[in-house]
Amino acid sequence: MVSRRQFIKNTGKASLALWLGATSNGFANTAFIIDAPSNFTPFIKIEKSGKITIFNTKPEMGQGTFQSIPALIAEELEVSLDEITIVQTSGEKQFGSGQAAGGSSSIRGNYNEYRKIGAAAKEMLIKAASIKWGIGIESCYAENGKVYSSKSDKSFSYGELIEEASKLELPKEPKLKNKSDFKIIGKSIQRPDIPLKVSGKVEYGIDVELPNMVYATVYRSPVIGGTLKNFDAAATLKVPGVIKVVEAKRIVGKYNYSGVAVIAQSYWSALQGRKVLKVEWDTHGYENFNLSDYENKLRNLSKEAGVIDKNIGNVESIKIEPENAIESFYETPMVAHHTLEPMNCIAHVNGDMLEIWTSTQVPSAITGSGPNDLHSQIGIKPENIKLHSKFIGGGFGRRLYTDYVIEAVNIAKQIAQPVKVIWSREDTTQHSALRPMTFSQLKGGFSKEGELISFQHKVISPSYFDSVGSSFDKSKVDAIMVEGIGEQAYEIPNIKTSYVYADFHVPVAAWRSVTSSTVAFAHECFVDELAHKINKDPFDFRLQMLSKESDTKRVLLKLKEVSNWDKSLPKGKGRGVAQWGFFAGLCAHVVEVSIAEDNSIKIDKVIAVIDLGEVVNPNNVKNQVEGAIVMALTAAIKPGITIENGKIKQSNFNDSPLIRIHETPEIEVHILADGGKIKGVGEPGLPPFAPALANAIFSITGKRIRKMPFDLNLF
């Protein structure tokens, strides 16, 4: 809190504004523009003119936080979204270390905290008005950015109240609105970023243009792990527009790479220069690596016991008759993020100061002072780093990494001007960290009475934690790689989940819904196999393992109803079901398929139920789930990424194709938002799709798919 004296002192300076926000212990706080407490995170700024600014700390990559975070604050503050100015933060210190978007966490992590900030501000403004009018606060109410008196027709705009409000104590426990009074939350209000995106005026990192800016492209070792021996830039430097050729170092998790950057007056000139650049790489030990060999290694590793993740009951001592036991092996590929905006970053090093313009999911990791933040990798003090965080042309986990920022900074250190480093599509495909493959061994056992009494899921894969840091303890489970497999709601008396580590020299990344995007395929297809083993309907089989009340049970019951599962399908049609609950949230799909004239599988419809607890913008949630399903469809049926002779084989959308409009099925999304635990939106729609599709294909062809990707034309 600031004192009255500070207030008077500050009014003489710049613009007077009431700032409201949160301290590290989560409480709402207030302060003036200067002398704010050090741990104060401002979220609302109300100026005397009546202008209200709400700061959004969660980068916008398509998921809608540019609206949804301010919406939570505006709802309680009683201002419409049209009346506020939304400012995207750029990793500034005062906005704290939570300026990052990932793990579907923006809303589920802070739903009530953001509302409390708005509610506290509103309570103070109401109290200020009641003091000015000399009436009780019960006779005042806030609406549309004003405080009204219910005893007369008088009103104050918020701007008129900030001086009085600033003298007030903070409400310790601001009262939150009843759900039934919501005007913004739960309504499908148009997103404020969409007009910008429809006019072409929205600015992504790649669109930033600075005076005196130069461009760079980087030639990186085609063989992953190759190191730079030497380069000859003589021909490159003769290309018109080329200015300089320098070494460019990049760090990806625990890996250090070196490339050669061609700096030029235009990106096109830089590309021409790169074509004639001669580089020698030392690829010893890496040039004979083939992914098919590595996959054989993973298959062999499945014989190892691995490290136990969850062990419920006693799987080992249960006696299962051979005819009551089944075992299956599932495989998934590596995939690329393929954000449509390729990697790019502008960096300008001026003395010991660094300025960065880029699209990133982690502004806080670029400006932060933590041990693993950017400063530790580039040797520039965090207080000297200024970031301009731009709209993101696709994240999906790729932009959780800052390797492209590190590389741009290392190039910028070698030239006085701001430099825009653009990765070509080929660069982005071949030099980005990838979602690793996971192989799964599953075992199930029934009692003589046909009860599922034993379930085992062992994941064999490279390790995410091993890739991002060198301190991974291989005697422990990588929790990311067994994500969700020990947490399904099915009531099975004996469950064992485990993990077998596989050494890998290729950087691996989180990819939308992380490991759930692969292990859910194995897990939920195997549940289908178990149902068919005892001739049970796969939907009923799941529900029978859900006797207790749970979110999973509610979602499946809703899905059974909206998909008309109880009605039999017309002849020639099949369907499959799958669900997945994990850290990010919970979703279940029914996929309906038929066999087309050319004997290929046609996906007729996808019906999804996502459980959120609370929903901010239903139309946006539907868009997210539709998108997650399309992305899941690509991962299910389009080729993944492969490595031959140490090089990534795919380079662009011609050899790493993505789903297109004519391949997109009809999608119907239902939202459950009837209270309960608040869950995420961006990722949960993805994991259940591939297993629901594979289960649907089994229902119509009798062929069990145990490997992704699978071809819809081969049935």
Among candidate residues 83, 20, 75, 76, the one with its CA nearest the CA of residue 49? 83
Nearer to other proteins, 180 or 212 (CB): 212
Using CB under 8 A, which of 249, 338, 560, 589 touches other proteins?
338
* Nearer of residues 62 and 186 to other proteins, judged by Cβ: 62
By C-beta, is 101 or 527 nearer to other proteins?
101
- Taking the C-alpha atoms of residue 471 and residue 497, their distance in angstroms, rounded to an integer, is 23
Beta bridge partners, 261, equal 218, 246
DSSP string, 551-593: HHHHHHHHHHHHTTTTSPPPTTEEEEEEEEEETTEEEEEEEEE
Measured from the CB of residue 393, what is the shortest distance to other proteins in angstroms? Answer: 3
Q: Which is nearer to other proteins, 76 or 592 (CB)?
A: 592
Does residue 687 belong to the site contacting other proteins (CB under 8 A)? no
Determine the number of helices (DSSP H) and then strands (DSSP E) in the chain.
18, 28
The SS3 assignment for 520 reads helix
The gap from C-alpha 96 to its chain's centroid, in whole angstroms, comes to 19
Find the binding residues for other proteins in span 341-360 (CB under 8 A). 341-342
What Å distances lie between residue 385 and 347, 348, 382, 528, 688, CA to CA? 10, 10, 5, 52, 41
Give one DSSP letter per residue of 209-238, joined into a string: --TT-EEEEEEE-SBTT-EEEEEE-HHHHT
CB closer to other proteins out of 44 and 590: 590
Q: Contacting other proteins (CB under 8 A), which of 660, 702, 713, 714? A: 660
Supply the minimum distance, in Å, between the C-beta of residue 342 and other proteins: 7
Confirm or reject binding of residue 510 to other proteins (CB under 8 A): no
Q: Which is nearer to other proteins, 502 or 616 (CB)?
A: 616
- Using the contact rule CB under 8 A, the part of the chain among 92-100, 138-146, 628-636, 700-708 near other proteins is 628-636
Q: x/- contact string, 374-393, with other proteins (CB under 8 A)? A: -----------------xxx
Exposure letters 174-197 (e unless 16+ CB within 10 A, then b): beebeeeeebbbbeebebbbeeee
Taking the complex as a whole, the smallest distance from the CB of residue 196 to other proteins amounts, in Å, to 8
Q: What angle do CA 399, 188, 626 make, to 5 degrees?
A: 50
> Using CA of residue 681, residue 683, residue 687, residue 689, what is the dihedral sign?
positive
Part of the chain binding other proteins (CB under 8 A), chosen from 128-136, 227-235, 536-544, 622-630: 622-630
Residue closest to 697 by CA, chosen among 711, 683, 686: 711
Q: Decide if residue 652 touches other proteins (CB under 8 A).
A: yes
Taking the complex as a whole, the smallest distance from the CB of residue 69 to other proteins amounts, in Å, to: 16
Q: Is 181 in the site for other proteins (CB under 8 A)?
A: no
Provide the residue type at 124 as one letter: M
700 phi/psi in degrees, rounded to 5: -105, -25
Residue whose CB is less far from other proteins, 426 or 561? 426
Fill in the amino acid letter for 151. K
Choose between 209 and 473: whose C-beta lies nearer to other proteins: 209
Considering only residues 184 to 213 of the shown chain, the ones binding other proteins according to CB under 8 A are 188, 190-191, 193-204, 206-207, 209, 211
Q: Does 98 bind other proteins (CB under 8 A)?
A: no
Q: Does 237 bind other proteins (CB under 8 A)?
A: no
String of contacts with other proteins for each residue 418-447, x by CB under 8 A: ----x-xx----------------------
Decide: is 362 part of the binding site for other proteins (CB under 8 A): no
CB of 607 to other proteins, least distance (A): 13
Q: Taking contact as CB under 8 A, which single stretch among the options 74-82, 252-260, 373-381, 624-632 is the one that binds other proteins?
A: 624-632
> 395 vs 687, which CB is nearer to other proteins?
395
**Toward other proteins, which CB reaches closer, 31 or 242?**
242
Member of 37, 394, 493, 709 binding other proteins (CB under 8 A): 394
Give the distance from CA 228 to its chain's centroid.
33
For residue 384, what is the DSSP state?
A: G
Is the CB of 429 or the CB of 497 nearer to other proteins? 429
3-class secondary structure, 99:
coil
User: How many chain residues touch other proteins (CB under 8 A)?
Assistant: 67
Residues 237, 543, 658, 678: which binds other proteins (CB under 8 A)?
Answer: 658
Identify residues 56-75 at the interface with other proteins (CB under 8 A).
61-64
Q: Does 269 bind other proteins (CB under 8 A)?
A: yes
CB of 118 to other proteins, least distance (A): 24
CB neighbours (10 Å) of residue 111?
A: 18
Residues 608, 613, 619, 625, Cα dihedral to 10°:
-40
Strands 666-672 and 601-611: parallel
Residue 689 contacts other proteins per CB under 8 A = no
623 belongs to the binding site for other proteins (CB under 8 A): yes
Contact between 50 and other proteins by CB under 8 A: the answer reads no
Q: Count Cβ atoms within 10 A of the Cβ of residue 326 and give its class: 0-12 exposed, 13-18 middle, 19 or more buried.
A: middle
Q: Which residues pair with 260 in a beta bridge?
A: 219, 247
User: Which residues make up the interface to other proteins (CB under 8 A)?
Assistant: 61-64, 188, 190-191, 193-204, 206-207, 209, 211, 215, 240-241, 265-269, 272, 338-342, 391-396, 422, 424-425, 619-620, 623-624, 626-631, 652-654, 658-662, 664, 666-667
